Homo-oligomer: A and B are copies of this chain.
């Protein structure tokens, strides 16, 4: 397979979107105890007010705020104590001018009251007389009914990756189950006569299957599911048979090459042998990762990833992850940080370049240093904190620039 038609990363993404415009991962309902990191498939509307009543944010006394105006350390205001409301109870008093009712943090504000004075600014003379040493403003220390979330509002938008804080919102709304996107199903095929699995002997000249384990972990981290994982020799019929099996049970098939020319040929021919559009991306101008092919067969998405573990990981992160996020409309903040480049670095003009970097903090500033190493070294990745993306039109990186570092 020749790489005459190498496309940019952006073009590859667009072709991918276009070819799979109708493909859906589907949704499922899960308990909010199991929804962390899943992606919301529907907007969450509130059918209640949160809070459902005017609630105190402090321990203290509910009063009419105007009664406290002018009160100070030297000239306190005097109030008549009506008693107290307990947590979870409805107050059985209506507050009138000059009256005070004790309300704990989280307790319900009685009718008539429009402010809470903190207990620290009061003094109880006896069971029924209270001195207040501070003036409070209207609704001070009160969360009004619906202040947090209003009945009918969209509380959480679809596409958000569910955080603990969002689980808190779901619980506040009384929602115990939530509709999320199904985990995309992946099948990983490692090809290559030289590839040996972990439980096999490593004869000289052979190499361990690194890619399928690294990809397995990337898929786990992304929230996907690996439904199959296998190694096949560089033989057309074997690869076709395995790919057919993979397409039947997964959403996305990853064939990690054999980065030799012959192996790439097999992958392309196999993809083209099924019903469908066949290979529609024949190489991407990305560094590392150029010999990547993308195709469709029997309605399923098939990636031919480079054999180099580093290239394969970079293509997964830049293209595969991006596709999954786009399909689910994920709107979360991708883990990245701004850092000051402490190096000059030229890039391959015309190719989107992924450069691994280490981060360090000096005097409260974050600096990025490039991780150097030869192409294909796995420690290039494992010893780095993240990577910078140098766009195809850029000439490189200049020392002192403040750029995004995407965290691994």
Assess whether A242 is interfacial by the CB under 8 Å rule. Answer: no
The answer on a CB contact under 8 Å between A156 and B32 is no
Assess whether A131 is interfacial by the CB under 8 Å rule. Answer: no
Measured between C-beta atoms, what is the minimum distance from A283 to chain B in Å? 14
Assess whether A232 is interfacial by the CB under 8 Å rule. Answer: no
- With A213-B32, A213-B171 in contact, is A87–B194 under 8 Å at CB? yes
Chain B residue at smallest Cβ distance from A50: B378
The answer on a CB contact under 8 Å between B259 and A208 is no
The answer on a CB contact under 8 Å between B147 and A377 is yes
| CA distance in complex: A148, B212 (Å) | 19
The answer on a CB contact under 8 Å between B106 and A202 is no
Q: Report B-chain residues with C-beta under 8 Å of the C-beta of A218.
A: 164
- With A213-B33, A381-B165 in contact, is A106–B172 under 8 Å at CB? no
Q: Mark A194-232, 1 if CB is under 8 A from B, else 0.
A: 110011001011111111111111101100000000000
Q: Report B-chain residues with C-beta under 8 Å of the C-beta of A374.
A: 57, 143, 147
Assess whether A234 is interfacial by the CB under 8 Å rule. Answer: yes
A residues 154-177 with Cβ under 8 Å of B?
155-156, 162-176
Q: Report B-chain residues with C-beta under 8 Å of the C-beta of A36.
A: 217, 220-221
Q: Report B-chain residues with C-beta under 8 Å of the C-beta of A309.
A: 168, 172
Cβ-defined partner of A193 (8 Å) among B87, B155, B204: B87
Q: Report B-chain residues with C-beta under 8 Å of the C-beta of A35.
A: 217
The answer on a CB contact under 8 Å between A258 and B210 is no
Measured between C-beta atoms, what is the minimum distance from A90 to chain B in Å? 5
The answer on a CB contact under 8 Å between A307 and B105 is yes
The answer on a CB contact under 8 Å between B105 and A171 is no
Q: Report B-chain residues with C-beta under 8 Å of the C-beta of A172.
A: 208, 210, 309, 378
Q: Report B-chain residues with C-beta under 8 Å of the C-beta of A147.
A: 374, 377
- With A88-B206, A192-B87, A206-B88 in contact, is A382–B106 under 8 Å at CB? no
| CA distance in complex: A382, B86 (Å) | 29
The answer on a CB contact under 8 Å between B171 and A198 is yes
Measured between C-beta atoms, what is the minimum distance from A225 to chain B in Å? 12
Measured between C-beta atoms, what is the minimum distance from A404 to chain B in Å? 8
Measured between C-beta atoms, what is the minimum distance from A27 to chain B in Å? 20
Measured between C-beta atoms, what is the minimum distance from A393 to chain B in Å? 15
Q: Mark A289-301, 1 if CB is under 8 A from B, else 0.
A: 0000000000000
16 A–B pairs (Cβ distance < 8 Å), ordered by A: A59-B261, A87-B258, A106-B194, A108-B205, A148-B373, A148-B379, A155-B382, A165-B381, A167-B214, A168-B313, A172-B309, A172-B378, A174-B202, A175-B198, A333-B359, A335-B335
Beyond known contacts A164-B221, A164-B313: 11 more, CB 8 A cutoff: A51-B207, A52-B202, A57-B376, A107-B194, A148-B377, A148-B378, A155-B379, A162-B217, A168-B210, A173-B208, A338-B339
Residues of A within 8 A of B (CB): 32-33, 35-37, 48, 50-53, 55, 57, 59, 86-90, 104-108, 143, 147-149, 155-156, 162-176, 192-195, 198-199, 202, 204-218, 220-221, 234, 258-263, 307-309, 313, 333, 335-339, 359, 365-366, 373-379, 381-382, 384-385, 402, 407-408
